[in-house]
Amino acid sequence: MSTAPAPIEVLHADASLVVVNKPVGLAVHRSHMTGAEPDFLIALIRAQTGRTLQLAHRLDRATSGVLVLAGDREVAGELGRQFMAQTVQKRYLAVVRGHVADEGTIDHALDAPGKPVPQPAVTHFRCLARVELPIPLGRYESVRYSLVEARPESGRYRQIRRHFKHASHHLIGDTSHGEGRHNRFFRIRYAVHRMLLHASSVSLRHPVSGEPITFSAPLDPAFLRVIDAFGWREALPAPL
C-alpha cells in the first residue's frame, strides 16, 4: 500500500512567488532521467497549493534547500532575467573531503549533457569549519573534512559538485563525482545516505516590488547529524 508523499515545506508565499525547502531525493520535474517515477516537486507543489506554478530555477535531485517558483509566466520571465544576469545570489552549504583554504575561487569551465563545449563556470567559497578524526582510511592515519559555504556565479550542470571534485575536495555523499571510501564511512558511522549539499539561501529582487529579499532554508536531520557530530553548529550562518 503506497503512502502519500509528505507535504513540501513552504518558506514563503505571496501572489507572485512560492518558495519551498526542496527535500533531498526528489526530482524537481519529470525528465528522461526520472523514468516512470510518480512523484516530482513541481507536480506535488502545484497540487499542494492549488496554483499553476513555474520553476524559476532548478536543483539536482540529490540537493536540498531553497527553490523559487513563479506564480505565472510573466513572473517566471522576470526571475529568469535575474538569473541570466547573475544578479541572484545563491549560497550553498557542503561537507567536503579534506581541509580547504579559508576562502577561494574555483574557475573551471564545464560541459553538460548534450553540450560538449565547456562553458565558463566560477564558484567562490569560504571555509566555515574543519575537523580531523584519528580514524585511518586508505593510506592516511586520519580523516579530514571541511564545512564550506559555496557561492556559484554561474549555474552550470552539477557545478558545485564538479568544481570541488576538480579541486580534490569531493562532496560527501556524492555517488557520481565523490569518493566512495568517504561516502561509505559516513553511511556506516553517521547513517548519512544523502549528498551533503544544501541550497541554504537565495537573494533576489522581488519580481513585482523590486525590493531585495532573501529566502533561507533549514537543514534536514541527516545533515544536522553530521553538523552536531563534528561540533559545527555555531559555525552555521544565521538563521540556520
C-alpha cell at 181: 571510501
pLDDT of residue 30: 73
- Secondary structure (3-state) at 83: helix
C-alpha cell at 8: 513540501
The one catalytic residue among 14, 39, 60, 102: 60
Amino acid at site 193: H
Q: What is the pLDDT along the chain (240 residues), one digit of tens a residue?
A: 456 678 999 999 999 999 999 999 999 987 555 455 557 999 999 999 999 999 999 999 999 999 999 999 999 999 999 999 999 999 999 999 999 999 999 999 999 999 999 999 999 999 999 999 999 998 889 999 999 999 999 899 999 999 999 999 999 999 999 999 999 999 999 999 999 999 999 999 999 999 999 999 999 999 999 999 999 999 999 876
Q: What is the C-alpha separation between 193 and 103, in angstroms, rounded?
A: 28
C-alpha cell at 191: 547513517
Does the annotation count 111 as an active-site position?
no
pLDDT of residue 60: 94
| pLDDT tens readout for residues 50-84 | 999 999 999 999 999 999 999 999 999 999 999 99
Place of cell 554561474: 154
pTM: 0.94
Kindly list the structural domains of the chain, giving each domain's residue range(s) and its CATH number in brackets, ordered by start: 9-233 (3.30.2350.10)
| pLDDT tens readout for residues 167-188 | 999 999 999 999 999 999 999 9
Listed in sequence order, the residues at least 6 apart from 172 whose beta carbon sits closer than 8 Å to its beta carbon are 94, 95, 96, 97, 145, 178, 182, 183, 186, 192, 195, 196, 226
pLDDT of residue 2: 53
- Secondary structure (3-state) at 173: coil
Cβ-contact 218, 196 below 8 angstroms = no
